[in-house]
Amino acid sequence: MAAMETITARQRSILIAIIASYIETGEPIGSTTIARLASDGGSVSSATIRNEMTALTAAGLLEQPHTSAGRIPTARAFRIYVDELAGGTRIAAARLSANSRREIDSRLAGSEGTDALLERTSHVLATLSSGVGVAIASTGESELLEHVHFSRLAPCRVLAVVVTRSGMVRDRVLAMNQDFTSRELEMAGVFLNESFRGWSVERVRSEIAQRVEQERSEYQKLLQSVEQLWVGAVPEAQQGTVFVGGIGNLVSRSGSDASRDRLREVLAALEAKQRLFELLSVYIDTQQQSVRVVFDLEEQAPEMAGLVLIAAPARVAGEMRGTVGVIGTTRMDYEMTMNAVSYVAGAFQRMLYPSG
């Protein structure tokens, strides 16, 4: 990074110490504190450190919130800090503490299917990071239908369960405009299973719509019922299911500088799951192999200014099953969070196929 090339080794040491202390305390850091924390602090006076902090401020890496206060890191400084972590040996799933690994394994164990695992993942990551845990199922374009089942729960309410050949299980409670008898639901399930087993879920949708257009008979009534049920069970094949946990964590981490209006904007953006899906889709590549840290969320969503995304793809047998991650403020425990996201992403194989 260019900024790294313009600062000295001593300034880098001081900057890293300031960031680590700020992450821990949330308070502006003064030169006396850094004299104790910097790796060469024993041989450097507070006055010298003040001069170095002034240089770092001029370089746009520190800022002084108040005239008499210490310094806090800028977004550019946090980028340097993350690069420093990623370039060393501290970022790896195996570096996550044994207690955290046990907690993750315990809370994810017994998940029935990918969606259930993703939902638990969002809450686990929220708890560990004190940020917002997010998990998004893969788009499903390459998912092949294995079985679908509909059950009548109440008038105009149907439970739909869709199972794909990769082992993904999706269940949804559908609020229908018309009531279906148990017999009608059974016929719809039999029709889908016999006609479309082995088809991609996206292709099923288009084929049903095409057949409805072509048929003008009693067969069309069945097709129309099947279409309503399928569209409800798989609402948008292009949109992965989004799970969010720990939104309240942002409130406690925002600090006094975050206005109520801005906080409401952020929370509204996180609640708008389609918006969140689009945001993560921009930054997470299906070919990505490791955890990624993104600071520029406001480029895609202005209401996300000041927030950071740490995310990684979750795969099973090389197949993309979804994306897991954390959205938090710049003042987060990057090392722990990056390692937690990496560990959780790697847990999908073990959890879904424990004997594999």
CATH of residue 202's domain is 3.30.390
Summarised one tens digit per residue, pLDDT across range 171-184 is 778 888 889 999 99
Q: Is the model's pLDDT at 191 over the cut of 50?
A: yes
- pLDDT for the residue numbered 66: 75
Q: Is the model's pLDDT at 257 over the cut of 60?
A: no
Does 173 share its domain with 102?
no
225-247: average pLDDT: 70
- pLDDT for the residue numbered 221: 72
CATH number, residue 263: 3.30.450.40
Does 193 share its domain with 167?
yes
E strand or H helix that includes residue 325? strand 319-329
Q: Is the model's pLDDT at 237 over the cut of 50?
A: no
CB burial of residue 77 (10 Å; 0-12, 13-18, 19+): buried
Query: 101: pLDDT confidence band, cut at 50, 70 and 90?
Result: very high
Least confident of 178-182, 267-271, 298-302, 308-312: 267-271
Residues linked to residue 72 through DSSP beta bridges, in sequence order: 63
- pLDDT for the residue numbered 255: 54
Cα–Cα distance, 61 to 77 (Å, whole number): 5
Residues linked to residue 144 through DSSP beta bridges, in sequence order: 200
Closest CA to 34 of 190, 42, 336: 42
Query: Looking at the 3D structure of the chain, how many domains does it have?
Result: 3
Q: Is the model's pLDDT at 251 over the cut of 80?
A: no
- pLDDT for the residue numbered 104: 95
| Cα four-point dihedral sign 312, 313, 314, 318 | negative
Does 82 share its domain with 104?
no
Listed residues 217, 233, 249: the one ending a domain: 233
CATH number, residue 20: 1.10.10.10
Listed residues 213, 233, 253: the one ending a domain: 233
Considering only residues 144 and 98, tell me which one the structure prediction assigns the higher pLDDT.
Answer: 98
Query: 263: pLDDT confidence band, cut at 50, 70 and 90?
Result: low
19-47: average pLDDT: 78
Q: Is the model's pLDDT at 141 over the cut of 60?
A: no
Does 118 share its domain with 169?
no
Considering only residues 225 and 354, tell me which one the structure prediction assigns the higher pLDDT.
Answer: 225
Least confident of 25-29, 96-100, 115-119, 301-305: 301-305
Domain ranges, residue 282: 93-138+239-352
Does 208 share its domain with 183?
yes
Does 74 share its domain with 199?
no
Does 154 share its domain with 104?
no
185-209: average pLDDT: 85
User: What phi and psi values does residue 171 have, to the nearest 5 degrees?
Assistant: -125, 140
Does 123 share its domain with 58?
no
Average pLDDT, the chain: 81
Cα–Cα distance, 53 to 71 (Å, whole number): 8
Does 104 share its domain with 229?
no
Q: Is the model's pLDDT at 41 over the cut of 50?
A: no
Does 244 share its domain with 285?
yes
Listed residues 183, 207, 233: the one ending a domain: 233
Does 102 share its domain with 118?
yes
- pLDDT for the residue numbered 1: 43
Q: Is the model's pLDDT at 44 over the cut of 80?
A: no
58-76: average pLDDT: 86
Does 177 share its domain with 75?
no
- pLDDT for the residue numbered 170: 74
Query: 238: pLDDT confidence band, cut at 50, 70 and 90?
Result: very low
E strand or H helix that includes residue 146? strand 145-154
Cα–Cα distance, 349 to 316 (Å, whole number): 5
Contact at 8 Å (CB) between 9 and 51? no
